[in-house]
Amino acid sequence: MSLLVDNPIVNSPLEEPSRYWAYEEGQPVLKEGRRPAGYYFKARARGPQMALLEEEFVPLEVVNAIRQRVKAWREQGYPGVTPITRQLLNHWNRPDRERKLFFCQREAAETLIWLVEAPPGEKQGIAIPRDNGLVRYACKMATGSGKTVVMGMVIAWQVLNKLANPQDRRFSDAVLLVCPNLTIKERLQVLLPWKPGNYCEKFDLVPRGFLERLQQGRFQITNWHLFQPRDDSRSRSVVQRGPEGDAAFCQRVLRELGNKQNILVINDEAHHAYRPAPLPEGLREQLSLEEIAEREEATVWVSGLDRIHAVRGINFCADFSATPFYIKGSGYEEGAPFPWIVSDFGLVDAIESGIVKIPRVPVDDNTGALIPAYFRLWEWINSRLPASERQTARRRAKPESVLREAEGALTTLASEWKKTFEAFQQASSPVPPVMIVVCDNTDLAKLVHEHIASGATGATGGVFEELKNQPGQEVTFRIDTKLLAEAESAIEGETKQEVAERLRKVVDTIGKTEWEGEGDPPGKNIRCVVSVGMLNEGWDAQNVTQILGLRAFTSQLLCEQVVGRGLRRMNYDDFSEPEYVDVYGVPFEVIPVKKKPTGRSEVQKVSTLVRALPERKHLEITFPRVEGYVFDVRSRIRLNLDQVPYLEVAPTQEPTEVVSKPAVGYRIGRPDRLGPGPEVVHDRNPFHREKRLQATVYEIAAELTRRLKEKREEWSARHVLFPQVLEAVWRYIEERVILTDPDTPLEEIALLRYKQRIIERLTEAIEPDTEAGEPPLLPVIERFRPIGSTSEVLFRTVRSCVGTVKSHISHVVLDAPGWEHSVAYQLERIPEVIAYARNDHLDFTIPYEWEGVRHEYRPDYLIRWRMPDGGEVKIILEVKGFTTEQDRQKETAARRWVRAVNHHGGFGKWAFYLCEEPRDIRRKIEEALKKQLELA
């Protein structure tokens, strides 16, 4: 059979899966039978960057056993069930139903019924552990597979049986639905059987005549925030009740259930409802604020259930989640499943049944690389960044650099979005397609949002006019997670910030044509969402067609959560017709890694903690982060084009074509072109058509002119410089830009990667034409990290170290113990030295170019030096001598850095000194400072 034309959908959503895709030794195989329930568990990581993970398949033995017994019980006609249950099961399975239920929905409901009603002999050997006395059954259902409908089925089964036989304690007519946020709470209103458009009517969940009886049950929908314990001991009230008792807690929390007992609890997005395990000593300090908050929320949620169970009694908890796994910070192994999972219909099963969109991921491109650049995008971006701009355990990647490296992926994916947008318009779709960009942090999200929302003619370049925000018309939307969290956690009766509420309503109504308010839903026309994290659970937009991940993904659990935001289908009439969501930067796969050796080395080196000491804050050294320079040009410029390096535009630098395919089955190893489903080729042709060459040249010339005349009071001179700069840009592009691939258009230089290189090279090359002597320089300071400091130093090392007295940093790390130790010793003794710091993990770098390549020079020491007049100079000290041409280039770059920063005037006085003889360092520095000050 041809693996390139096979449909990824191999099962009917209405029947039990009978086939599945598997990858054996990299080859796709269509296997008969049903995929065993299980999960991929991260065993260990390789390397400090946590980029590659070892994951192994672990079967869910209890789920697989229950699955087989439920199937046999189904085929026998459900022996042992009550008459009400039989009527419901027959109704759900009727072949003539107008709106048929998915098999996964029926199976999840059947599993819960089997656990309660099947004869005891049928359940022999099945042990579901209790959670501190609570009976909990978790149903794992992929996002978009219809778990809210299953909740309605479970509610109907429980309530109708209880009303028919009030003495049967297996059932309950009091239902408490608990969810994590206000968005889901509003969405779950469809489970109230008296509400217009409720799911019992919409999906025909009960036989005729049963709906009115179902309405006699008691229902309450709340978010877990209501479970927060109350204590008025510290209030100024005359009457102080103290900590809230369990009875008072239940009276407050279960207000809509009255005095009902034997309650059915349904936990939606139940992966938040777990009992955190005690953390080993010292581990809490390693958790992020988000992980600590998640742990505290889980504690509040499950503790509230404990109190309800103690006073009123909980029949059982039905938990629903696409990812019922423990997360980092829970106290359990990250990625381990909840032990009370009883049924499993995961994402891959939903894809192969046509229930959800199929993620389409890059499998090849024209870079020649083994793994497509846009598949593990974050790893690819970080590998291309200089060390000072790269993401580390203590520092985020520089946002501007991330955008520069990610722009090729962004514009390629946005080009696919534009094609989809045009198709939606031709089909007269009431809503546009939506592209999601998931960012690593708020600074990056802000920059990406500015870039996209500025449109194709924006100052930063932009992407497409269709994504440009206009006054009064916002189509590219950024989620402020702090405001959103504030709205989500608000409890009824408390005041919400209007801005936060507006934000939530926009997010909730993306892709919607109707809502409870007047006019169009506020999110109806949103076309692009830039977010931090993974958007909110319960966000069920159906018109997501592209997803770009600009963050690290350390597990397949994270991948599935992000991809889940784009899985809901647009069309539920023909499930055999696949729908796709294009995904870049979310490595949806399982990566095998060779295990690390377990043997220890014979010699154990002792590590030293090197850190900034709070008690030595007065010895802190700060420095500007300089990323480039500009000339303070007056009126005329000149350009020696022969000395400006060529610019090579090549697919090896940035792919111009990307082959994407459906991600089907659990693939072990790198993505490739083998497998089911058609290939599609993505390119940037729509972007090239919109970003005309002339417009790009004007943008480059405008930025160069701005750099040459950055001071506001001198803007009047820009109109004199711009025509000269424009001519220089055209000359460079015509004479020095080389296209290695004849099929690559010159418009490719519109990408930030190439635009910035042209700007940087011409900034270095353009000089004043009429000014005598050396022109003054100005530094370009980083936008998001303008100032560096010794206070940021914190690391461990096994290298040789010596303690300090005059340094903010506890130790000096010695790469060359002879020279560097001698210098440190002298700096401690010299009275003019106020403070000093070894430039190790300090991230002080000086940019320079060597043979057309950008490099970073890291001098050895920074010194605060007291002058005879009581003033202070900061000295950049290099210990070893320069011996090569590249070393001399470093010295030139350091002296250029000093001139530019001193000319700026906002960072104090600086000097550079090259130390060739540490024993005479004091006299040499004094002589050098005197000479530099005389020249100044």
- For residues 114 and 123, what is the distance between their CA atoms, to the nearest angstrom? 9
Beta pairing class for 846-850 and 853-857: antiparallel
Task: Note the helical H segments in 475-578.
Answer: 481-488, 498-508, 556-563
> Which bin fits 398, alpha (ψ -120 to 50), beta or left (φ > 0)?
beta
Q: For residue 120, count other CB atoms closer than 10 A to its CB.
A: 7
Q: What is the mean predicted confidence (pLDDT) over 59-85? A: 95
pLDDT tens-digit series, residues 706-763: 877 765 445 556 777 889 999 999 999 999 899 988 889 999 999 988 888 888 778 7
Structure tokens at 497: 């910030």
DSSP 174: E
Indicate whether 263 pLDDT > 80: yes
Q: What is the mean predicted confidence (pLDDT) over 800-814? A: 88
Helices 693-708 and 752-765 pack at an angle, to 10 degrees, of 40
Least confident of 215-219, 668-672, 718-722, 738-742: 668-672
- For residues 107 and 73, what is the distance between their CA atoms, to the nearest angstrom? 11
pLDDT tens-digit series, residues 570-598: 888 788 888 899 999 988 754 332 222 33
Question: Which residue, 659, 399, 661, 371, is CA-closest to 530?
Answer: 399
Indicate whether 822 pLDDT > 80: no
Contact yes or no for 128/62 (Cβ under 8 A): yes
What is the pLDDT confidence band of residue 787, given thresholds at 50, 70 and 90? very high
Structure tokens at 345: 């219909």
What is the pLDDT confidence band of residue 903, given thresholds at 50, 70 and 90? confident
Beta pairing class for 737-739 and 647-649: parallel
Predicted local distance difference test score (pLDDT) of residue 652:
82
Look up residue 749 and give its amino acid.
I
Q: SS3 for 543-600, per residue?
A: CEEEEEEECCCCCHHHHHHHHHHHCCCCCCCCCCCCCEEEEECCCCCECCCCCCCCCC
Indicate whether 547 pLDDT > 70: yes
pLDDT tens-digit series, residues 336-383: 899 999 999 988 899 899 999 988 888 888 776 767 899 999 999 988
Q: What is the mean predicted confidence (pLDDT) over 172-193? A: 90
Beta strands across the sheet bearing 174-179: 218-223, 174-179, 263-268, 314-321, 136-141, 341-345
- For residues 121 and 593, what is the distance between their CA atoms, to the nearest angstrom? 44
| Domains of the chain, each with CATH number or no CATH | 55-231+241-352 (3.40.50.300), 372-584 (3.40.50), 631-657+687-776 (no CATH), 787-935 (3.40.1350)
Indicate whether 432 pLDDT > 90: yes
- For residues 265 and 254, what is the distance between their CA atoms, to the nearest angstrom? 12
pTM for the model stands at 0.75
Q: For residue 217, count other CB atoms closer than 10 A to its CB.
A: 22
What is the pLDDT confidence band of residue 704, given thresholds at 50, 70 and 90? confident
Residues paired with 341 in a beta bridge: 138
Residues paired with 153 in a beta bridge: none
- For residues 587 and 150, what is the distance between their CA atoms, to the nearest angstrom? 30
What is the pLDDT confidence band of residue 3, given thresholds at 50, 70 and 90? very low
Predicted local distance difference test score (pLDDT) of residue 108:
97
Structure tokens at 595: 């295990």
pLDDT tens-digit series, residues 843-898: 899 988 765 567 889 999 999 999 988 899 999 998 765 556 567 668 778 888 98
Predicted local distance difference test score (pLDDT) of residue 927:
80
- For residues 658 and 454, what is the distance between their CA atoms, to the nearest angstrom? 26
| Residue corresponding to tokens 């190790």 | 840
Indicate whether 479 pLDDT > 90: no
Predicted local distance difference test score (pLDDT) of residue 52:
35
| Residue corresponding to tokens 């090392």 | 797
What is the pLDDT confidence band of residue 2, given thresholds at 50, 70 and 90? very low
Predicted local distance difference test score (pLDDT) of residue 661:
86
Beta pairing class for 800-803 and 811-814: antiparallel
Coil, strand or helix: which one is 14? Answer: coil
Indicate whether 497 pLDDT > 70: no
Coil, strand or helix: which one is 853? Answer: strand
What is the pLDDT confidence band of residue 459, given thresholds at 50, 70 and 90? very low
Q: Which residues contact 742 (CB under 8 A, 6 or more apart)?
A: none
190-208 b/e (C-beta count within 10 Å ≥ 16 → b): bbbbeeeebbbeebbbbbe
Coil, strand or helix: which one is 297? Answer: helix
Q: Which helix (H) or strand (E) holds 850?
A: strand 846-850
Q: What are phi and psi of 316, to 5 degrees?
A: -165, 160
Q: For residue 851, count other CB atoms closer than 10 A to its CB.
A: 9
CA distances from 676 to 28, 32, 225, 642 (A): 8, 15, 45, 53
Indicate whether 327 pLDDT > 60: yes
Contact yes or no for 320/116 (Cβ under 8 A): no
Question: Which residue, 344, 350, 358, 359, is CA-closest to 13?
Answer: 350
pLDDT tens-digit series, residues 915-934: 777 777 888 888 878 776 65
Percent helix, percent strand, percent coil in the chain, to nearest 5: 35, 20, 40
DSSP for 780-808, please give it.
Answer: EEPSS--EEEGGG-EEEE-SEEEE-SS-S
CA distances from 935 to 869, 871, 878, 929 (A): 18, 18, 21, 10
Maximum average pLDDT range among 40-49, 278-287, 552-561, 757-766:
757-766
Question: Which residue, 85, 371, 907, 68, is CA-closest to 899?
Answer: 907
User: Looking at per-residue confidence, does 503 or 352 come out higher?
Assistant: 352
Q: Which residues contact 841 (CB under 8 A, 6 or more apart)?
A: 610, 793, 794, 795
Question: Which residue, 582, 779, 530, 742, is CA-closest to 656?
Answer: 742
Task: Note the helical H segments in 312-358.
Answer: 347-352
Q: Which helix (H) or strand (E) holds 730?
A: helix 718-736
Contact yes or no for 641/621 (Cβ under 8 A): no
